[in-house]
Amino acid sequence: MASGWRSGGVQPAGIGRIVVWRGGSIWIGHAGAETDFHAHHAIQITIALSAGAVRFRRPAEEWTSYASVIIAAHQPHAFEASGELVAMIFAEPEWRQGRVLRERYPAGIEPLAADAFGDDVAQLAAAFHQGAANDELAARARAIPERLTSMQTAPARPLDKRVERAVEVLRERLGQTVVMADVADAVHLSPDRFRHLFLEETGIRFRPYVLWLRLEVAVALYAAGVSLTDAAHAGGFADSAHFSRTFKRMFGVPAAGIEPILGSG
């Protein structure tokens, strides 16, 4: 699932492309207006691909500039890099790369060394400039968290198999009403035991995680050119307003500001 995207309105959030894969995504392009404070479930790697820098700040703190940075899952932050070419790579903590990154960068906002990625950043920027196909752009993007996780001396503890199965069940049922007790039953756990295990393994409560998965589906479809309303319904949102509110809370910009443009397939 992938497409080009463009932000519209008086204060655009950027222009570029979005490519989504199971367990992550890349948002790459020229940044526009600064975002509001927001937080999301994914770990975020942000890299300035042009000569300038990206700026982040946490609530009650001043802006700090970075060439490249990693933001922990659920860390509230605002972002600004007006006019800069920027890559934002998201890794979900349930997947292998995300679990390693979650252990290595458990909290806050941390700078990443300029030499941490080898040639991967240059190759990603070149792929974007050349209008590479989505699969190639995704592969170039995924090489960056892979490079970071390869530095880990010990493997991350694998996700509990029952929670892993629960995530698959959730994905299968996103178009329906999702009831925690039903998912717990599907993985042979009591609702109370499942609730605690799910939070322990993923770092997020069950209901917000369902919302995150719904958002992931809707964003991918909307970026691919599906209408805001149809994308919202496909993701299991009651309406486009619910989708838009959730999007802004998690990404800091309005969902209605993203309009599809022609992208590579």
- pLDDT tens figures, 158-174: 899 999 999 999 999 88
pLDDT at 264 over 50: no
Predicted confidence (pLDDT) per residue in 67-93, tens digit: 999 999 999 999 999 889 999 999 999
CA pair distance 237, 186, nearest whole angstrom = 23
More confident residue, 199 or 151: 199
CA pair distance 31, 124, nearest whole angstrom = 17
Q: Judge whether 88 and 28 are in contact, CB under 8 Å.
A: yes
CA pair distance 170, 173, nearest whole angstrom = 5
β-strands 43-48, 24-31 pairing:
unpaired
pLDDT at 4 over 60: no
Q: Which residues of 55-89 are buried (b: 16+ CB within 10 A; e: fewer)?
A: bbbeeeeeeeebbbbbbbbebebbbbbeebbbbbb
Q: pLDDT at position 2, please?
A: 44
Structural domain boundaries in the chain: 2-156+252-259, 161-203
CA pair distance 87, 252, nearest whole angstrom = 16
Q: Is the dihedral of CA 7, 44, 19, 92 positive or negative?
A: negative
Q: Which two tokens stand for residue 172?
A: 């299968």
3-state helix, strand, coil in the chain (%, to 5): 40, 20, 40
User: Model's pTM, two decimal places?
Assistant: 0.89
CATH homologous superfamily for the domain 2-156+252-259: Jelly Rolls (2.60.120.10)
Coil, strand or helix at 257: helix
- CA 194 to chain CA centroid, Å, is 25
pLDDT at 8 over 50: no
| Residues β-bridged to residue 24 | 21, 91
Provide the pLDDT confidence category of residue 154 given band limits of 50, 70 and 90: low
Q: Is 249 exposed, middle or buried (0-12, 13-18, 19+ CB in 10 A)?
A: middle
